[in-house]
Amino acid sequence: MRRTNAQVGTAEIWRAFAASRLSNVSVTATISSAQAGSITVVTFTGADPSGTNGSGAIGATGSGNAKAGAPTASLTTTRNNSWVFGVGNDWDHPASRTLGPNQAMVHEYMPSVGDTYWAQRMTSVTATSGTRVTINDTAPSGDRYNLTICEVLPASGATSPTPTPTPVAPTVTVTSPASGTTYTSPASMTVAASATANGGAMIAKVDFFAGTSAIGSDTTAPYSIAWSGVAAGTYSLTAVVTDNLGATTRSAPVTVTVNAPAPAPPPPPGTTPSTAPLVQQASLQYLGSFAVPGTTLGSTYGFNAAGTGGLGTYAMAFNPARKSIFLGGHPYEQRVAELAIPASLTDTPTATALQNLIDPLEGKLNSINPTDPNSKVIGSALVYNNQLFIGAFSYYDGAATQTRSEFSRPLDLSSQGKVVGPVKIGDRYPGWVDKYAALIPPEWQAAFGGPALAGGTLGAINSLQSWGPSATVFDPAQVNGVTTVAGATLLGYPYGTPLADTATGNQYLSQADFITGMVFPAGTRSVLFFGRHGLGSYCYGTGGTAGDCYDPDDGSKGIHSYPYRSQVWAYDANDLVAVKAGQKQSYQVMPYAVWQLDASFQDVQGVAYDSAAQRLYVSQVYADNTKPLIRVYQIVVP
């Protein structure tokens, strides 16, 4: 009879007619594909029965829709004492309606997919024909919606049509936890609610939400769920009760706060760190995530495709002065921005840009290898002594002509003429030091012989690179205009002495690996490396499901080692100190553990580390459509 679907989803009103009263009626809708939906049935006595199949019962109709707004639609009545009903859908959020004046909710349904479907009406008939009637909600006011409305006409001589009594909505209250309760992450709590059905109905279920995210459901009283592994943040908890007639009610919110655990203090000054604990897989506890800005921030492509396929841009580092991260953008542009870390991770907030995407090297990227015509990529980033240090590499250096990699510049990306470099770190090919970097905790700097580590693993020309994680100790303060900075390799695997045999699938190394992050957590003796690891055996050729190499994740021609996972390689710092002391070779050191970082993704753009809060920020490639998502982990020191 009336349909509104200008926005995503659809709101429809159908009619049917029976010459006499029916009982035990079932109404079924058949749709062309599986979709979430809701049907509300309202019957009338005394409606106009004239016209084909009772079409005379329907008077004026109206509709409204918007990409963002408070739902509203209007019509002008055509007969005295008619009813006006409306049906709507909200595609963006499951949110209870706040009705306009003189209106009542007939039915409201919020499925787990995150939509809202509802029917509402005026609280009484409209007495006079020609009256402008508006069906509307005052909130929510920023979602996409479709709303369609109609007038139901009385029969000739009838006072008004009489609708089936509107079900009396159930009531629900969150009883636990109490508002204002605080926890420590990873938190566990019981969320409970009391629910009462009205008007002869029965409770069908109670759904529980944190913000707009469903966290559980219960169909049996007493209604409760166990919510565990809760990350740090502030949460608005609500319960939505549904009765067997389809009527729903959302409770008033209860606010709880989950605090991050206090970081473990580093060993006291003067004590040896060699007995500090090792970080294990269970030590990294996921807290939540935040999105990068969707705008281009002064560039052409923004953060789209950032950190993909060895082409970058990487450049992820934590800035303690502003509690922010530096992060690279699209590979075509090799730009870097600074993003403020949101105070709360509730509902995956979007970070605010403190500095737009800017070329941090002011056109000097090509100077790392000016005779090479192939792409140059920004790799490592490190904040030290209020300076930003950036490593860069030649993507395909077939002639092995790159000799330098490291730059320094002020943290203010808009400052001009202050980029220093490139310089060479140590005496190895720059691919060993230009892809990731980390600060050394103060308690370890004497044993390592410096304040920072730089590293790199594999690349387009693997024979030039380290065949496994590498770490070279250096002092960033020396990147001040000299051509070479001293560097001692404490971990690395020259060609011919790989971490593992890449011909056969293993847990340590494949030639398809991309290692893009390194962290040395304070208060531990662990040096951690992050990236993508291929568990399969070596294969060169086209990928896909029918290519030379079976690789459904990558159909391109090149090296394949399907399947892949995001991985952590964990090393004992004591072993690196032993290399420095000449007791071991850099290629004789093995990880004490490797593990999958997160089963939900494979590719890592980079890692930033906040030593004061013991938090890791891991950029997940292509997580938010084509943009990265920053996943946050708490390091809980054993």
CATH number of the domain to which 72 belongs: 2.60.120
Q: What CATH number corresponds to the domain at position 471? A: 2.115.10
Number of domains the chain contains: 3
Residues facing residue 126 across a β-bridge: 82
Whether residue 485 is found in the same domain as residue 389: yes
Whether residue 340 is found in the same domain as residue 480: yes
Whether residue 155 is found in the same domain as residue 176: no
* Average pLDDT, rounded, for the chain: 92
Whether residue 187 is found in the same domain as residue 137: no
Whether residue 71 is found in the same domain as residue 141: yes
Whether residue 216 is found in the same domain as residue 362: no
DSSP, res 159: S
Whether residue 83 is found in the same domain as residue 142: yes
556 occurs within a structural domain: yes
346: exposed, middle or buried (C-beta count within 10 Å: 0-12, 13-18, 19+)? buried
427 occurs within a structural domain: yes
Q: Which residue has the tokens 């030091």?
A: 433
Among 230, 135, 156, 250, smallest CA distance to 187 is for 230
Residue 494, preceding bond cis, omega within 30 degrees? no
- Asked if 1 contacts 85 with a C-beta cutoff of 8 angstroms, the reply is no
State pLDDT tens for residues 528-549.
Answer: 999 999 999 999 999 999 999 9
E strands, 116-155, in order: 116-122, 132-139, 143-152
14 occurs within a structural domain: yes
Q: How far apart are CA 160 and CA 82, in angstroms?
A: 6
pLDDT of residue 20: 83
Domain boundary among 163, 190, 208: 163
Q: What is the sign, positive or negative, of the torsion defined by CA atoms of 454, 460, 466, 467? A: positive
Which positions ≥6 away from 582 have C-beta within 8 Å? none
Among 99, 87, 117, 116, smallest CA distance to 15 is for 87
State pLDDT tens for residues 344-380.
Answer: 888 899 999 999 999 999 999 999 999 999 999 999 9
Whether residue 97 is found in the same domain as residue 219: no
Q: What is the pTM for the complete model shown?
A: 0.65
Q: Which residue has the tokens 């706060």?
A: 257
268 occurs within a structural domain: no
Q: Are strands 471-474 and 452-455 parallel, antiparallel or unpaired?
A: antiparallel
Residues facing residue 217 across a β-bridge: 207
Parent domain of 287: 273-635
Q: What CATH number corresponds to the domain at position 250? A: 2.60.40.10
- Asked if 412 contacts 491 with a C-beta cutoff of 8 angstroms, the reply is no
8 occurs within a structural domain: yes
Whether residue 177 is found in the same domain as residue 141: no
Whether residue 128 is found in the same domain as residue 248: no
Among 197, 215, 195, 190, smallest CA distance to 206 is for 195
Number of H helices, E strands in the chain: 2, 44
Domain boundary among 259, 287, 315: 259
E strands, 313-448, in order: 317-319, 324-328, 336-340, 352-358, 376-384, 387-394, 406-410, 420-425, 436-439
534 occurs within a structural domain: yes
User: What separation in angstroms does the CA of 115 have from each of 53, 143, 530?
Assistant: 33, 10, 37
- Asked if 466 contacts 559 with a C-beta cutoff of 8 angstroms, the reply is no
265 occurs within a structural domain: no
Whether residue 244 is found in the same domain as residue 176: yes
Whether residue 50 is found in the same domain as residue 186: no
pLDDT of residue 484: 94
590 occurs within a structural domain: yes
Domain boundary among 106, 132, 163: 163
Q: How far apart are CA 408 and CA 419, in angstroms?
A: 6
Residues of the chain with pLDDT under 50: none
